[in-house]
Structure 1
Amino acid sequence: MSALVVSAAYDQARQPHLREVLSRMAEEAQKLTWPIERLHALRDERLRDLVRHAKANSPWHAERLRDVDPDGLTGDDIRHLPVMTKADVMANWDDIVTDRRLTMAIAQEHLNWVTDNGPAYLFDQYHIVTTGGSSGLTGLFPWDYEGWLQAGLGSWRLMPWVVQNLHLSPPRGAFIGAAHASHMSDAIRATFDMGDNSVKVPVTLPLSQIVDALNEFQPNQMLAYPSILWRLALEQLEGRLNIKPEVMLGGAEPLFPHQRKTIETAFGAPVIDFYGTSETWMLACSMPGREEMHLGEDLLVAEPIDATGAPVPAGTTSAKLLVTNVINKVFPLIRYEIADEVLFLADENPGPWTGRRIAPVSGRHDDVFEYGETPTGEQIYVHPYVFWTPLWDSRIAQYQVRQTRTGADVSVELRTDCDLRPIRDALVNAMLEAGHPDPVVTITVEDIPRHPVSGKIKNFVAFKKRK
């Protein structure tokens, strides 16, 4: 590990974060029921601090925000500020970041180390995470120490309310998700993991091994991608899985109504749905068993817009969402474009959580590929995460994975030239680990077609549409 990425031992370095979250959890839980005016006052205070910091420390923001006076700025009047895209981020990374020690090359070096060795702080204070998102444009994003703390608090502040109102037993949690700390969900979990009463089960394992691990551990809480919760619900209904969770948390994928119904029927427990990104973390979450989601009003400014960039009113589905992350100052994302179709609900909020509500987001969904059965009769499912990790590389600008009968054909657009053979080998190995007996993978540099209307790239194209 080079001197550039040396960090304090992670177990020791994360302790202040963990202690802070534990000490502030009850206080943070109260924010769920604050009047929205009070939440917006805190949001706007954070917004002004963010813009001041960006203008003073980011060459890119100093130029684009040169005529902006942060004093008096609120989330309700930032429409005159320019929009940021992920393409802007990756093209101007070194000038956007507010710590002059950080460069994209250093961040990528650190991320490579983290992928191989597990979580670590860069310069003892930063987390680096990566995302492909629904658009397929890869990105690297640093989080500062305070922003990471606020992300953790935003993630878990609902739990005191949930524990009290659902009368939950002492937590015994299972995380079925990302296998590497380069992914935000696993890095957050690793930082705020409470100890022996939790288990991590990589989603890349064959389904039978995931089932065996859960049967052995017997969790009463589960956090997983909705597609995996749904698969596990089917296993529970078939009798191969036998656990009794009291609550389940899903995120990073859409949770469709038929999935929710199957999951809650199979386990006899409610689902809490999260909507977030690696760049902004938790945008919204639902109350247990309810579909609508409440916005984290103190953590971000959210602006639904149409295809021309004009704001859309509540009750109208947006073409995109602009998000200003007000808690992370090292990499200011101010009116950052997310290509999700979001519907802000127009009807009255029944409470008790007070954030504005949105409908479940269904505008990004990476299909799980199905490959028939093994010789022993087990269905082969390959989760998109199997492909995400090898393709999360700052040298790759865009990617598309097309399922074939025997594996996958991958198209990439490169930012800089690189040897694709190690990436192909990593994809083959990941599919083998996921249970595919003999995957055939090709990877080709070529232009990837975009949707003629939306302009989006479909990341994952299934060989045939699943029922």
Structure 2
Amino acid sequence: MTLSIPAATYEQARGPHLRAMLAGLAEESEKLTWPLERLHHLRDERLRTLIRHAQRHSPWHSHRLRHIDLEALSGADLTAIPPMTKTDVMAHWDDIVTDRRLTLRGAREHLARVSAEGPAYLLDDYHVVTTGGSSGLVGLFPWDRDGWLAAALSSWRVFAWLARTMNLAQPGRTAFVAAAHASHVSEAMRRTFEPPGISCEIPVTLPLAEIVARLNAFRPDRIIAYPSMLRRLAFERRAGRLTVAPQVMLGGAEPLPPRMRADIEEAFDAPVVNFYATSETWTMACSPPGRTELHLAEDVAVYEPVDHDGNPVPPGRRAAKILVTNVINKVFPLIRYEIADEVTLLDGPNTEVWSGRRIAPVQGRHDDLFDYGDGVVVHPYIFWTPLWDARIAHYQVRQTPRGADVLVELRERLSLDTVRDELAAALRRAGLADPAVDVTAVDRIARAPMSGKIRSFVPLPRPAAGPARP
């Protein structure tokens, strides 16, 4: 049995996938404007197919889903199904997967080959991607071919819409300043579906001067990067070192606060499109160009904002986490899967062209909360104002038992004592007595090796919860 298609033949293997994506793109972009009821009808058809497949082929899910009446099933209410977590995923991986040939050990061996040799399909059919491990637990997630294609179309529909409505250059030149590792979902998607010759991949881990030089040489019409990197590029453009003039910037995988968005859009005189995506689901929401709210991709997943106890949270109130059911990937059913992002479903009628329900920009994760005991729990926003300074390029806040250690990359000279005092005052206002804060300037904050992201907030390790029983 062939375990994987090696990198040498990957280009030939991806050909049918690429042709199918290009063929379906024009029709796919219309889904942005489908009535919500039509999107939910397609979502529920996919949901019932997923649940039926999981009942028959996943030992772990078959027990959990044995009582589900498929005829009555709808994404409007999945509370009869217990949630699942990343801990469950990694503890029961071999029983969750619906292709019995797949094993966690085999997936890990496959990713090791991908790391060494480049992109490859596992068992001729599957992409395997990994999370960056921001919660402290790295996850591995296989995607089947149909799900991988549907996920690509759900994100590329936005490109097709932008091209039509913003009169963007076609086919256009796109620069990706992000992860360059084939096991990361964004890079794996790019390598599968990006037509040859129109894109430039620039690893985000390169020195800033080299990133700027490559962008100046390529002259992209679009830049796709983490928001923190787009902000640094905005500084470079203001300084005259970056001379490109993209028509649109696209950011994702990190929070995009309003001031960061304003910095980027003012420097480039072009709008930002904000994506909300994960390795487990790919694109879940996207903002129209220049708008802050994001519209959910309603046909690819069921979204359930909940509180810390798993109870539904109404629109207008920030949820502690979100339960997501990925309805397009049947090989690894993620059904009411817990993602720790604090999501706010917006209230009121949606009068925009894009018809998906709207969420506010995702600004943090409940996994990022700093719990100091005795009822003192500090949200990351406590640190935002003191650290939001144009002279600070990047920062990382590490919780300590009595406060925080902060690393900063500086663009210009700055009094670290002043930053330290402001952070200590913010922690005191949050209820922490006599906080100990240390601020250190470094040349470079280490990025995650797989995703290339900087984890801005690093809590102290918490006791691990045991896996849930199916």
Q: Shorter chain as normaliser: what TM range?
A: 0.7 to 0.9
> What CA deviation, in whole Å up to 9, does each residue of 1:398-439 have, x standing for no partner?
x9997xxxxxxxx9xxxxxxxxxxxxxxxxxxxxxxxxxxxx
Alignment CA distance shift 1:206-1:386 (3 Å): farther
Instruction: State the TM-score, normalizing by the size of structure 2.
Output: 0.80
Alignment CA distance shift 1:401-1:245 (3 Å): closer
> What CA deviation, in whole Å up to 9, does each residue of 1:338-383 have, x standing for no partner?
0111000002212100000000000148956545689xxx983335
Alignment CA distance shift 1:115-1:95 (3 Å): same
How many residues in Structure 1 have an aligned counterpart in Structure 2?
Answer: 398
Give the structure 2 partner of residue 83 of structure 1. Answer: 83
Q: What is the alpha-carbon distance in structure 2 between the residues aligned to residue 177 and residue 373 of structure 1?
A: 21
Q: Secondary structure at the match of 1:354?
A: coil
1:385 aligns to 2:448 (yes or no): yes
Contact preservation (8 Å) 1:260, 1:271: yes
Q: Secondary structure at the match of 1:83?
A: coil
Q: What is the alpha-carbon distance in structure 1 between the residues aligned to residue 361 and residue 457 of structure 2?
A: 25
Alignment CA distance shift 1:400-1:96 (3 Å): farther
Contact preservation (8 Å) 1:125, 1:144: yes
Give the structure 2 partner of residue 449 of structure 1. Answer: 461
Give the structure 1 partner of residue 112 of structure 2. Answer: 112
Alignment CA distance shift 1:372-1:232 (3 Å): closer
> What CA deviation, in whole Å up to 9, does each residue of 1:26-67 have, x standing for no partner?
100111000000000000000000000001000000111111
Contact preservation (8 Å) 1:204, 1:382: no
Give the structure 2 partner of residue 50 of structure 1. Answer: 50
Q: What is the alpha-carbon distance in structure 2 between the residues aligned to residue 373 and residue 231 of structure 1?
A: 9
Contact preservation (8 Å) 1:264, 1:271: yes
Q: Secondary structure at the match of 1:381?
A: coil
Q: What is the alpha-carbon distance in structure 2 between the residues aligned to residue 166 and residue 401 of structure 1?
A: 36
Identity %: 56
Q: What is the alpha-carbon distance in structure 2 between the residues aligned to residue 95 and residue 116 of structure 1?
A: 28
Alignment CA distance shift 1:102-1:7 (3 Å): farther
What is the aligned-residue RMSD (CA, Å)?
A: 2.6
* Gaps in structure 2 of 5+ consecutive residues: 369-393, 397-406, 413-440, 466-470
Contact preservation (8 Å) 2:204, 2:452: no
Q: What is the alpha-carbon distance in structure 1 between the residues aligned to residue 457 and residue 290 of structure 2?
A: 33
1:39 aligns to 2:39 (yes or no): yes
- What is the CA distance between 1:266 and its match in structure 2? 0.7
* Gaps in structure 1 of 5+ consecutive residues: 392-398, 403-410, 412-447, 456-467
Q: Secondary structure at the match of 2:291?
A: coil
- What is the CA distance between 1:20 and its match in structure 2? 0.8
Q: What is the alpha-carbon distance in structure 2 between the residues aligned to residue 181 and residue 151 of structure 1?
A: 17
Q: What is the alpha-carbon distance in structure 2 between the residues aligned to residue 388 and residue 229 of structure 1?
A: 16
Q: Secondary structure at the match of 2:54?
A: helix
> What CA deviation, in whole Å up to 9, does each residue of 1:276-321 have, x standing for no partner?
1000111100000000000000000000001111101101110110
Q: What is the alpha-carbon distance in structure 2 between the residues aligned to residue 379 and residue 218 of structure 1?
A: 31
Q: What is the alpha-carbon distance in structure 1 between the residues aligned to residue 449 and residue 410 of structure 2?
A: 17
Q: Secondary structure at the match of 2:176?
A: strand
- What is the CA distance between 1:118 and its match in structure 2? 1.2
Query: Which amino acid letter does the alignment assign opposite residue 266 of structure 1?
Result: A
Alignment of 1:41-440 (within 5 A): 41-170=41-170, 171-364=172-365, 367=395, 370-371=408-409, 380-382=443-445, 384-386=447-449
Give the structure 1 partner of residue 4 of structure 2. Answer: 5
- What is the CA distance between 1:384 and its match in structure 2? 2.9
Query: Which amino acid letter does the alignment assign opposite residue 4 of structure 2?
Result: V
Q: What is the alpha-carbon distance in structure 2 between the residues aligned to residue 451 and residue 289 of structure 1?
A: 41
Q: What is the alpha-carbon distance in structure 2 between the residues aligned to residue 51 and residue 319 of structure 1?
A: 26
- What is the CA distance between 1:102 and its match in structure 2? 0.3
Give the structure 2 partner of residue 441 of structure 1. Answer: none
Q: What is the alpha-carbon distance in structure 1 between the residues aligned to residue 77 and residue 338 of structure 2?
A: 17
Q: Secondary structure at the match of 1:283?
A: strand
- What is the CA distance between 1:262 and its match in structure 2? 0.7
Q: Secondary structure at the match of 1:190?
A: helix
Alignment CA distance shift 1:43-1:169 (3 Å): same
Alignment CA distance shift 1:187-1:388 (3 Å): closer
